[in-house]
A = this chain, B = another copy of it.
Amino acid sequence: MLSMTLEDYLESIFLLGRGRNPVRITDVAKKLKVKKSTVVNAIRKLQQEGFVIHERYGDILLTQKGIEMASRVYERHLAIFSFLVEILGVPEEIANKEACGIEHYIGEETAKTLSLFIEFSRLCPQLQKIIYEDFRKYKNSGTIPDICSEEGKKMLKLTQLKVGQKAIVKKIDCDRSIKSRLLTMGIVPGVEIQVEKVAPLGDPIDILVRGYHLSLRREEAQCIEVEEA
């Protein structure tokens, strides 16, 4: 209904105009880092669609329709921004920039759920604790916190498993290209695998993942850490 670019203009006008400051072409141009002529163009389109009112040489005003649309966009922005900052710990400036792009692609439903998730995390000290302590630790050092590992299970390399044995993938520790191949085959942390067949020298190893048979090179299997099921 409104192109992403026009959504951006609308959102900027909304943000600049909060606190009822009149918004001028130049403000928008500065905020979005485009030339004034470009803004004039965009405003004309927004006016045609009934989102803003703008008289020649005058201030830009949002219509009711414009305010509604803009606040919808801004809510999405805020949800994404908060998630990036509060949950993932992304620096605010980066989070803001990324949210500016993402906000146009995330649907109303998803945005609402994301907002709820943030809200929930703020309300729930337990969740906060896990995110702020355990996840940060995992992120910075790769350490799997104690609260996560179940008792009495050993960590093994996939290559150490015997035929028929089942295990849960816990970690994949190798360089990008192999890792991405493994990921696209559905081998991701948390998934259950079963060893089907091992060739004489341990290469290849046939495994079962989510009902599919896969054949792994030893080199690949070596970097998959699992926990006995």
Contacts and interface: CB of A to CB of B under 8 A. Distances in A.
A120 interface: yes
Interface residues of A, number: 58
A165 interface: no
Q: How many copies does the complex hold?
A: 2
B122 A189 contact: yes
Interface stretch (A42-50, A85-93, A202-210, A216-224): A85-93
A120 B135 contact: yes
Contacts of A71: 176-177, 180, 184
A1 to B, nearest CB: 16
Contact of A123 (B102, B114, B144, B176): B144
A105 to B, nearest CB: 3
Question: Which of A107, A124, A135: most chain B Cβ within 10 A?
Answer: A124
A101 B110 contact: no
A109 B89 CA distance: 11
Interface in A49-107: 67-68, 71-72, 74-75, 78, 82, 84, 87-90, 94-95, 98, 100-102, 104-107
A107 B98 contact: yes
B94 A116 contact: no
22 contacts: A71-B180, A82-B188, A88-B110, A88-B114, A90-B110, A98-B107, A100-B105, A102-B102, A116-B138, A117-B135, A119-B171, A119-B190, A120-B135, A120-B139, A123-B189, A124-B130, A124-B134, A124-B147, A126-B130, A126-B147, A126-B148, A130-B130
Interface of A: 18, 67-68, 71-72, 74-75, 78, 82, 84, 87-90, 94-95, 98, 100-102, 104-107, 109-110, 113-114, 116-117, 119-120, 122-127, 130, 134-135, 138-139, 144-145, 147-148, 150, 170-171, 176-177, 180, 183-184, 188-190
